[in-house]
Structure 1
Amino acid sequence: MGTALVYHEDMMLSRLLWDDPECRIECPERLAAALDGLRQCGLEQRCLRLVAREASEEELGLVHSPEYVALVQRTQALSKEELQVLSGQYDAVYFHQSTFHCARLAAGAALQLVDAVLTGAAHNGLALVRPPGHHSQRAAANGFCVFNNVAIAAEHAKQKHGLHRILIVDWDVHHGQGIQYIFEDDPSVLYFSWHRYEHGHFWPFLQESNVDAVGRGQGRGFTVNLPWNQVGMGNADYLAAFLHTLLPLAFEFNPELVLVSAGFDSAIGDPEGQMRATPECFAHLTQLLQVLANGRVCAVLEGGYHLESLAKSVCMMVQALLGDPVPPLSGPLVPCQSALESIHSVRMTQAPYWMSLQKQDVATMLNPGSHSPDGTPATLLPGGPTCEAAATTLSSFLDPLHLSPIPPIRTAVALTVPDATLPLPPGVLCQEGSAPREETEAWARLHKSLAQDEALDALGKLLYLFDRILDGQVSSGITATPASAAEATLDVAIRRALCHRAQRLFCVALGQLDWPPDLADDRRILWLNIGGKEAAASSMFHISTPLPRTTGGFLSCVLGLVLPLAYGFQPDLVLVALGPAHGLQNPQAALLAAMLRGPAGGRVLALIGEESTPQLASTLARVLHGEAPPNLGPFLMASPEDIQALLHLRAQLEPRWKMLQVAGEAPGSGGSEPAAQSQPTEGPFPAAPSGPPFWVA
């Protein structure tokens, strides 16, 4: 199995035949740019390429009325003048003699992708289509959309494949009201959309795009709208929305399939969105979604009108679907006030319907923000750089279109006694090398427990693998050590990373492992112990929390503490150490490792005990190699003790680690601080550069 790429060049036939400033941005060049980008980066060749088929009229009828399908079919015989008159009856729509053919191909591509993934022919994939679909309704075209491709695919998955839980993630910058209308009373489809809203002043100007539209009847709580009330939302805002809103609900919902309405008008440079998220951000969002539904993620192209930004964003998404390490995000990750207000509002609105959000927020909702992420008053009026100047700036950011170098070896496993029966996915290297004996013995002299032959052999393998990760030859790895030497081996690993000039090392220690006391003040290391006796932060870089005992508690810990810390710290490397009595089940360990691949660009080293089962090593190897982690099992709400521990740590740590925030700060508490200036104030490492400028149309 691999990643499917579904398209048909006939989808470029439809084009605008008359002058219409509103519609001219939806052009064939959009599809051509995305395809050219994939070919230029060598990604198309790595995918399972499928030629899109036309959806049948019966398949279109899954969500559209027969009368509407017949009306679109008749456009094939209309003159240019007749097409223009018909187009004027809809909002932001144009028809062409090829529209029916193209729209059937677009819907058919989505169906073909879902069939390939659900039958096991592919593991995940992307359908590159036009016209887009998420605005289309049962009997009306809308917003460039003719047939609702994702809604048709969802209904098809239910009726043909018998699915009962489908998650639709709509990250297009416009609200997909068509999908919402189709499934608003259906509890088998969880629809999440973030969209530029401007308190109702941005297209499509609908009250039902607001946060309080949660569905109807049995579907209440299964529509989740996150409205962006100002422009300029960036990587931190998008990640915060996923970590604190979408993913808690998604894990509780436990989908069997994830459909993505992948609109890249929410990316930097797009004239429609005016947002600041870089293309790399969409690779991270895709990777986060791949931990759901056994990795069955089907993305379908929606909007995206800046050709360079669209092309690179598509490439980044496909890179993540292929399982490659994704490029780390640059710039300070500090959500803006307006984003936090929207996130908090969604959490409060949805809490009555979802256990994962209940009793987890203590802040009160603030007044709507009036400042943009750079601290200036939000405005939609002209006055920013011209389109030509903005395009030049963005081109310098995106050009040349290329991917970050990927290490020759994605994943390596180093065990002192290799198990020939260990089931590993293709491409995972069983490492046999070891560091030079003299070097290993020199490091071993730091701890008596490393003097034993078995511990010394394990240390040599760790040092060899660690150096290859730090030198860029290997992306991620797994190594084992005797339980009696686990703490000493971890101590050596930390010191070896610092000697290798690692600037930021995130160490997640589980079980009976202690912080090296002489490194307590070294702020190049962020230490998080999961399994401590109590929730405590002796400093902003030394944190401990008990191991939650329920799935809900564990997920709250990962999504509400571990990942926000990791993304806020932006580490060069992540160390995951499973010490004695760590208490994690294999699926929990796999989920933790899989989700920590993103913050450090895939550079993760998992240190496990030699007494661990071969199944644990195999499972970790698979997720570090890009496969989906196993299901955690039934969702059980976090205990009051686990919730209290999370709230206690959040209150202590939020002033330093802004990605932990789930609500805007009160006036005078620092929340209005300009995001571009919210650099780390502690530690010897330099602040990361601020993000690129964005286009204010």
Structure 2
Amino acid sequence: MGTALVYHEDMTVARLLWDDPECEMECPESADCSPVVGQWVSGQGPEGERRSCLACPPLHSPEYVAMVRGTQSLGKVELQALSGKYDTVYFLTSLSICARMFPGATLQLVDAVLTGTAHNGLALVRPPGHHSQRTAANGFCVFNNVAIAAEYAKQKHGLHSVLYFSWHRYEHGRFWPYLRESDADEVGRGHGRGFTVNLPWNQVGMGNADYVAAFLHVLLPLAFEFDPELVLISAGFDSVIGDPEGQMRVTPECFAHLTQLLLVLARGRVCAVLEGGYHLELLAESVCMTVQALLGDPAPPLLGAMVPCGSALESIQRVRAAQAPHWTSLQHQDMAPVLSSSIGSPEARPQPPPPAGAEYMVAAAAEAVEALRALLDQLRLRPLPPVRTAIALTSTDAALVLPPGVLHQEGSAPREETEAWARPHEALVQDEALTALGKVLNLMDGILGGQVSSGIAATPALATAATLDVAIRRGLYLGAQRLLCVAVGQAATP
């Protein structure tokens, strides 16, 4: 299992043949990222039109599908006349072939991920699909490939409900396509209420901090509660800095971070499908960052102040309020905001140089801890234990000054019980290691028993691996069914 790349060179053959300033930005080069990412993943072509046509009718009307198929026999004048009946779309003979092919590419990727052939992947397709409607092409888009993929996953692979999340340039309804149903208070209808989540950006210039804040405070809480079996990314990159259409300020590195956050969902089963993006150089960089994240590479650091602007916070709060009746994870409104607004518009944000030295590092660490704590509070779907954080210290660590809200846990498991658990390990025979183990066991009892939320324990370096082994066996003995063990550093693991 690895990362799959689905593409075909025919995706790049269609090009606008008449003068249309609105359509000329949708060009073959937008799908020509395969030479860049091909060095990392093995690509394979889509199985073609047969599979895609089987999936199109449930979402697009038969009449519309037949019309698109019929463009193969039209001349240039007829194609131009037909294109003029739709909003910002051009039809060509070769384009119609690609438009029927790319849902097949997307479905091939879904099959690969859901059957375990690939762990995740990216479909480099063209033209894009997210603006297309049931009976009409719209905004460069002919067939809605990601919507088709969602329906296909339900019909063929037995998945059930769909949660739809979209952030988009809206500007209070004054930006194309001027749809009232794109605002935050449109949450779906009937049994689907709460399963449509719109996050409208009401000004241009949104940057990394705004998009990350949207993930932390809207998308991830909902996604963890929804618990998806598959993540489909309608991967548009027109929010990248310098894009003439999006006019936002997201850096390519940010897409790596956002992709990594999505990989924690659905056991990492993520299918990204190329959509828009009209700054070709930065589009390629953004696609590369996305692929690197899918491959498991570490994300580059995000530079600059990570403080969302006031307009972003307003949009986030509006969508949280609209969705709160439908999602438990958004009903904790008593939490103070972790991130405060910057002053003025994104263009006017001050960018002071960070203070140097330990003071800056301490402040940055504190901000990160508070942000993580707030996110965990939002995702928590049960009451908090009485003790927020406990630290199990030995006598040699007793002088450590603990921050407010963190309690020093003095207790220890009974000596005989601790010795019984330690017996297989010579490293735990020494008094210091045995004492530390007793405190670890007592801390685990509190966490698994619901009295303590989290904790920190200190153990002698030579006894770390043995203590971890005992802790794992103790957790299973106490009834834990799923344990995540993360070993950081160079100490040997059990």
TM-score of the alignment, normalized to the shorter chain, above 0.5: yes
CA distance in 2, matches of 1:313, 1:361: 37
Aligned counterpart, 1:292? 265
Q: Please tell me whether the aligned partners of residues 125 and 297 of structure 1 are also in contact (alpha carbons under 8 angstroms).
A: yes
Q: CA deviation at 1:323?
A: 1.0
Q: 2:296 aligns with which of 323, 328, 348?
A: 323
Aligned counterpart, 2:116? 120
CA distance in 2, matches of 1:335, 1:342: 11
- Aligned residue runs from structure 1 range 156-555, under 5 A: 156-164=152-160, 188-361=161-334, 371-375=344-348, 511-513=390-392, 532=407
Letter of the 1:21 partner, please give it.
P
Q: Does 1:45 align with 2:39?
A: yes
Change (3 A) 1:62 1:370: farther
Letter of the 1:52 partner, please give it.
P
Q: Deviations over 1:112-137 (max 9, x none)?
A: 00000000000110001000001111
Q: 2:102 aligns with which of 86, 101, 106?
A: 106
Aligned counterpart, 2:78? 82
Change (3 A) 1:505 1:369: closer
Q: Deviations over 1:536-568 (max 9, x none)?
A: xxxxxxxxxxxxxxxxxxxxxxxxxxxxxxxxx
Change (3 A) 1:78 1:256: same
Partner of 1:138, secondary structure, is coil
Identity of aligned residues (%): 64
Q: CA deviation at 1:297?
A: 0.5
Q: Deviations over 1:146-184 (max 9, x none)?
A: 0110011100000000011xxxxxxxxxxxxxxxxxxxx
CA distance in 2, matches of 1:350, 1:316: 31
Q: CA deviation at 1:342?
A: 0.2
Change (3 A) 1:256 1:11: same
CA distance in 2, matches of 1:63, 1:607: 57
Partner of 2:66, secondary structure, is helix
CA distance in 2, matches of 1:232, 1:12: 30
CA distance in 1, matches of 2:408, 2:327: 29
* Greater share of helix: 2
Change (3 A) 1:504 1:307: same
Aligned counterpart, 1:613? 472
Q: CA deviation at 1:36?
A: 3.1
Q: Please tell me whether the aligned partners of residues 121 and 294 of structure 2 are also in contact (alpha carbons under 8 angstroms).
A: yes
Change (3 A) 1:8 1:235: same
Q: CA deviation at 1:532?
A: 4.4
Q: CA deviation at 1:530?
A: 8.7
Q: Deviations over 1:283-319 (max 9, x none)?
A: 1111111111111110000000001110111111111
Aligned counterpart, 1:22? 22
Change (3 A) 1:349 1:504: closer
Aligned counterpart, 1:457? none
CA distance in 1, matches of 2:231, 2:9: 26
Q: Please tell me whether the aligned partners of residues 55 and 111 of structure 1 are also in contact (alpha carbons under 8 angstroms).
A: no
CA distance in 2, matches of 1:241, 1:248: 10
Q: CA deviation at 1:277?
A: 0.9
CA distance in 1, matches of 2:302, 2:25: 29
For these two proteins, the number of residue pairs brought into alignment is 402
Partner of 1:198, secondary structure, is coil
Q: Please tell me whether the aligned partners of residues 512 and 579 of structure 1 are also in contact (alpha carbons under 8 angstroms).
A: no
Change (3 A) 1:91 1:503: same
Q: CA deviation at 1:370?
A: 10
Q: Please tell me whether the aligned partners of residues 390 and 408 of structure 2 are also in contact (alpha carbons under 8 angstroms).
A: no
Letter of the 1:613 partner, please give it.
I
Q: Does 1:64 align with 2:60?
A: yes
Compare relative contact order (CA 8 Å, sep 6+) and give the higher one, 1 or 2.
1
Q: CA deviation at 1:608?
A: 7.5
CA distance in 1, matches of 2:206, 2:334: 23
Change (3 A) 1:518 1:370: closer
Q: Please tell me whether the aligned partners of residues 511 and 530 of structure 1 are also in contact (alpha carbons under 8 angstroms).
A: no
Q: 1:54 aligns with which of 48, 61, 79?
A: 48
Q: Please tell me whether the aligned partners of residues 277 and 283 of structure 2 are also in contact (alpha carbons under 8 angstroms).
A: yes
Partner of 1:265, secondary structure, is coil
- Aligned residue runs from structure 1 range 139-150, under 5 A: 139-150=135-146
Letter of the 2:48 partner, please give it.
E
Aligned counterpart, 1:152? 148
Letter of the 1:108 partner, please give it.
G
Change (3 A) 1:195 1:503: closer
Q: CA deviation at 1:612?
A: 2.3
Q: Does 1:5 align with 2:5?
A: yes
Q: Please tell me whether the aligned partners of residues 6 and 109 of structure 1 are also in contact (alpha carbons under 8 angstroms).
A: yes
Residue ranges of structure 1 left out of the alignment (5+ in a row): 39-43, 165-187, 377-497, 521-526, 535-577, 586-591, 593-605, 625-697
Partner of 2:93, secondary structure, is coil
Letter of the 1:157 partner, please give it.
A
Q: CA deviation at 1:15?
A: 1.2
Q: Deviations over 1:32-80 (max 9, x none)?
A: 1x22332xxxxx2332422122243222213111110110011111111
CA distance in 2, matches of 1:529, 1:153: 49
Change (3 A) 1:341 1:122: same
CA distance in 2, matches of 1:223, 1:189: 9
Change (3 A) 1:13 1:342: same
Change (3 A) 1:196 1:513: farther
Change (3 A) 1:348 1:579: farther
Q: Deviations over 1:586-628 (max 9, x none)?
A: xxxxxx9xxxxxxxxxxxxx9984532279999445999xxxx
Change (3 A) 1:363 1:619: closer
Task: Mark the structure with the bigger radius of gyration.
Answer: 2
Change (3 A) 1:370 1:331: closer
Letter of the 1:159 partner, please give it.
Q
Q: Please tell me whether the aligned partners of residues 54 and 101 of structure 1 are also in contact (alpha carbons under 8 angstroms).
A: no
CA distance in 2, matches of 1:3, 1:256: 17
Partner of 1:613, secondary structure, is helix
Q: Deviations over 1:622-661 (max 9, x none)?
A: 999xxxxxxxxxxxxxxxxxxxxxxxxxxxxxxxxxxxxx
TM-score by length of 2: 0.74
Letter of the 2:44 partner, please give it.
L
Change (3 A) 1:332 1:514: farther
Q: Please tell me whether the aligned partners of residues 211 and 346 of structure 1 are also in contact (alpha carbons under 8 angstroms).
A: yes
Letter of the 1:154 partner, please give it.
A
Q: Please tell me whether the aligned partners of residues 163 and 196 of structure 2 are also in contact (alpha carbons under 8 angstroms).
A: yes
CA distance in 1, matches of 2:447, 2:259: 25
CA distance in 1, matches of 2:283, 2:6: 17
Partner of 2:231, secondary structure, is strand
Change (3 A) 1:98 1:243: same
Change (3 A) 1:76 1:610: same
Change (3 A) 1:142 1:623: farther
Q: Please tell me whether the aligned partners of residues 124 and 296 of structure 1 are also in contact (alpha carbons under 8 angstroms).
A: yes
Q: Deviations over 1:671-690 (max 9, x none)?
A: xxxxxxxxxxxxxxxxxxxx
Q: Please tell me whether the aligned partners of residues 263 and 304 of structure 1 are also in contact (alpha carbons under 8 angstroms).
A: yes
Change (3 A) 1:608 1:349: farther
Q: Please tell me whether the aligned partners of residues 62 and 156 of structure 1 are also in contact (alpha carbons under 8 angstroms).
A: no
Q: Please tell me whether the aligned partners of residues 230 and 270 of structure 2 are also in contact (alpha carbons under 8 angstroms).
A: yes
Q: Please tell me whether the aligned partners of residues 235 and 272 of structure 2 are also in contact (alpha carbons under 8 angstroms).
A: yes
CA distance in 2, matches of 1:29, 1:249: 35
